[in-house]
């Protein structure tokens, strides 16, 4: 348990060489330094015998680099898909030999600042500031002290920083096109965004709507009705759908602004004796895990969480290494359509 630490000096001693020689062998630079093959072998042998592992802390103090990245997020617990964001970041980091400090600010700016500071104190090479739902935020000032990047967020005030976000506008277009290609041109309803209640801090709401509207307008299609929601939980979807049903005589298709709303919508449609997709087609956003569990399985425009996390870390690493530093601005990640069973083709008489 209290095993004595073995240091480079121990290795050198056992190998009968200078510590310098041992160091060079281990950093693989024996070519430059013209270390004899014999010495190299003795060092390598000693390393194996002693089971030597370099002390990264000491190395960091000397080199000024920790091979460590800090990731602080507002929430990682309540979002079921949050794991995939982290996963992508973790994978990318590991592939480059980096480890991740992870922390959660719970949306508290003060705590966020504190956590970023704790990471900076530990000399992380860079920082990822992440949000679980896409939004604008004010980066804490400590961010400036290290290379850093915004993940699933954009700076509230213009700043020369890299942001990685889902391409929500194109995602909106994708949802609209999915309906269009199935022949839906009338009786299209929206729930999640509409007159009155709209979550204005959510970029997703704004940009998804923008994409949807753009496609429909270009085709001369009118949205039959749209109902906003205070929040995007299943019961909001249920209420909104019931309201929608009162406004629209012949609902043919329904765009839900996320899968949770869609879950409530499924229920409300069933209440009204409407079948999905035979009577009403449904398309949604996010690709939450339960999208495959409901019946029929939900066709949805996926939030590319894994890719977001991975891309953020890769861009950050580029900046850290100084090779081809990425230009500040938004990097938009494509939102793929997951075609499942909730859209039914609808043919019109010629």
Partner DNA sequence: TTGTATGCGTTATCAT
Partner DNA sequence: ATGATAACGCATACAA
- Name the residues that contact its own copies, by CB under 8 A: 1, 3, 53-58, 60-61, 66, 68, 76-84, 86-87, 90, 94, 99-104, 115, 117-123, 144-145, 234, 260, 263, 267, 289-290, 293, 295, 306
Residue 40 Cβ, how far from DNA at the closest point, in Å? Answer: 8
Q: Which entry of its own copies, DNA, none binds 113, CB below 5 to 8 A by partner kind?
A: none
Degrees, nearest 5: CA angle 202-233-85 = 60
> Whole-angstrom Cα distance, residue 207 to residue 188?
18
Instruction: Count the Cβ atoms, other than its own, within 10 Å of residue 64.
Output: 9
218: which residues sit within 8 A by CB, 6+ positions away?
A: none
For residue 256, list its beta bridge partners: 191
Using CB under 7 A as the binding rule, whether residue 62 contacts DNA is answered as yes
Q: Which is nearer to DNA, 5 or 295 (CB)?
A: 5
End-to-end CA distance of the chain: 81
Q: Which entry of its own copies, DNA, none binds 1, CB below 5 to 8 A by partner kind?
A: its own copies
In three-state secondary structure terms, 21 is helix
Q: Which is nearer to its own copies, 84 or 173 (CB)?
A: 84
Residue 151 Cβ, how far from its own copies at the closest point, in Å? Answer: 15
* DSSP character at residue 231: S
Check if the beta carbon of residue 117 is closer than 8 Å to that of residue 135.
Answer: no
Q: Which entry of DNA, its own copies, none binds 102, CB below 5 to 8 A by partner kind?
A: its own copies
Q: Which entry of its own copies, DNA, none binds 260, CB below 5 to 8 A by partner kind?
A: its own copies
DSSP assignment of 256-281 equals: ESSHHHHHHHHHHHHHTT--TTTT-E
Q: Which is nearer to DNA, 60 or 75 (CB)?
A: 60
| Token reading at 242 | 């019931």
Residue 67 Cβ, how far from DNA at the closest point, in Å? Answer: 11
Q: Stretches 58-66, 152-160, 169-177, 270-278: which one binds DNA (CB under 7 A)?
A: 58-66
Residue 334 Cβ, how far from its own copies at the closest point, in Å? Answer: 20
Instruction: Count the Cβ atoms, other than its own, within 10 Å of residue 306.
Output: 20
**Window 11 to 50, contacts with DNA (CB under 7 A):** 17-21, 23-24, 26-27, 33-36, 38-39
Burial class (CB in 10 A: 0-12, 13-18, 19+), 321: middle
234: which residues sit within 8 A by CB, 6+ positions away?
A: 260, 261, 263, 264, 267
Residue 87 Cβ, how far from its own copies at the closest point, in Å? Answer: 4
Residue ranges binding DNA (CB under 7 A): 5, 7-9, 17-21, 23-24, 26-27, 33-36, 38-39, 52-55, 58-59, 61-63
């Amino acid at each position: 348990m209290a095993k004595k630490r073995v240091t480079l000096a121990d290795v050198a001693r056992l190998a009968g060489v200078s510590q310098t020689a041992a160091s060079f062998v281990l950093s693989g630079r024996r070519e430059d330094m013209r270390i004899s093959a014999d010495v190299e072998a003795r060092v390598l042998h000693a390393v194996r015998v002693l089971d030597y592992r370099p002390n990264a802390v000491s190395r960091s103090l000397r080199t000024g680099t920790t091979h460590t990245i800090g990731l602080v997020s507002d929430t990682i617990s309540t979002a079921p898909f949050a794991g995939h964001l982290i996963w992508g970041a973790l994978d990318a980091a590991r592939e480059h030999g980096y480890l991740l400090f992870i922390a959660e600010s719970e949306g508290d700016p003060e705590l966020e600042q504190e956590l970023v500071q704790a990471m900076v104190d530990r000399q992380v090479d860079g920082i990822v500031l992440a949000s679980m739902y896409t939004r604008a935020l004010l980066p804490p000032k400590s961010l400036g002290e290290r290379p850093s990047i915004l993940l699933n967020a954009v700076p509230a005030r213009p700043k020369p920083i890299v942001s990685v976000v889902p391409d929500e506008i194109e995602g909106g277009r994708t949802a609209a096109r999915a309906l269009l290609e199935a022949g839906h041109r009338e009786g299209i309803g929206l729930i999640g965004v509409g007159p009155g209640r709209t979550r204005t801090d959510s970029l997703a709401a704004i940009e998804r709507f923008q994409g949807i509207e753009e496609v429909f307008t270009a085709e001369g299609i009118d949205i039959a009705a749209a109902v906003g929601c205070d929040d995007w939980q299943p019961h909001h979807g249920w209420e909104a759908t019931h309201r929608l049903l009162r406004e629209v005589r012949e609902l043919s298709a329904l765009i839900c602004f996320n899968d949770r709303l869609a879950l409530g919508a499924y229920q409300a449609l069933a209440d009204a004796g409407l079948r999905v997709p035979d009577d009403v087609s449904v398309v949604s956003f996010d690709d939450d895990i339960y999208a495959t569990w409901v019946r029929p399985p939900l066709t949805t425009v996926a939030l590319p969480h894994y890719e977001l996390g991975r891309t953020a870390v890769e861009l950050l690493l580029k900046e850290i290494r100084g090779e081809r530093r990425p230009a500040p601005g938004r990097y938009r990640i494509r939102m793929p359509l997951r075609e499942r069973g909730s859209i039914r083709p609808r043919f019109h008489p010629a």
